[in-house]
Structure 1
Amino acid sequence: MSTVPTQIRIDADVKKQANELFSELGLDMSGAVNIFLKQCVLRGGIPFKVEVPQYSKELLDAASEARRISRNPDIAGYTSMEDLKKALEE
């Protein structure tokens, strides 16, 4: 099997995360991309569902509230479970 060099542009953070994952799996980026491309050819398309996630309004509202709370300096934060337990008991 002959190989050819190929260049692709990838988001730096996604590349870092993918390299960490592939390393845990005993793969490098080239090997992982080859597996993906072989699966595309074998299946005659992308080998997984590509879709935009549809989150419920409740989940989106909860995420928005969590962001708001995390950015509010007036809301107490805790660095240990013991501190949180003490605050809850007060």
Structure 2
Amino acid sequence: MSTVPTQIRIDANVKKQANELFSELGMDMSGAVNIFLRQCVLRGGLPFIVEVPQYSQKVMDAMSEARRISRDPEVPGYANMDDLRKALEE
């Protein structure tokens, strides 16, 4: 079977994470993409469901609040459970 070079554009962070995952699985990006494409051909479509998740407003609000809190330098952080317990007991 002959192969042809193919060029695709991928978000740098996604590429890094994918390469780390594929490395753990004993393969490289090319091997993983080949598996994906073969599954697409075999199934006659994408080998997984593609959908937009429908989150409730309550969940969306909680995610927004968590994002805000994680970026707020005024919110204290704790490196271990002992420090967190002390802060909760105060």
TM-score by length of 1: 0.89
Q: How far apart are 1:68 and its partner, in Å?
A: 2.4
Runs of 5+ consecutive residues of structure 2 not aligned to the other structure: none
Q: How far apart are 1:75 and its partner, in Å?
A: 3.0
Q: CA-atom RMSD, angstroms?
A: 1.3
Runs of 5+ consecutive residues of structure 1 not aligned to the other structure: none
Please state if 1:74 is matched with 2:74.
yes
Equivalence for 2:16 = 16
Equivalence for 1:47 = 47
Q: How far apart are 1:32 and its partner, in Å?
A: 0.4
Cα 1:13/1:71, change in 2 over 3 Å: closer
Identity of paired residues, percent? 80
Secondary structure at 2:16 match in 1: helix
User: What letter corresponds to residue 62 of structure 2 in structure 1?
Assistant: A
Count of residues in correspondence between the two structures: 90
Range that drifts further, 47-56 or 35-44: 47-56
1:13, 1:35 → 2: CA distance? 21
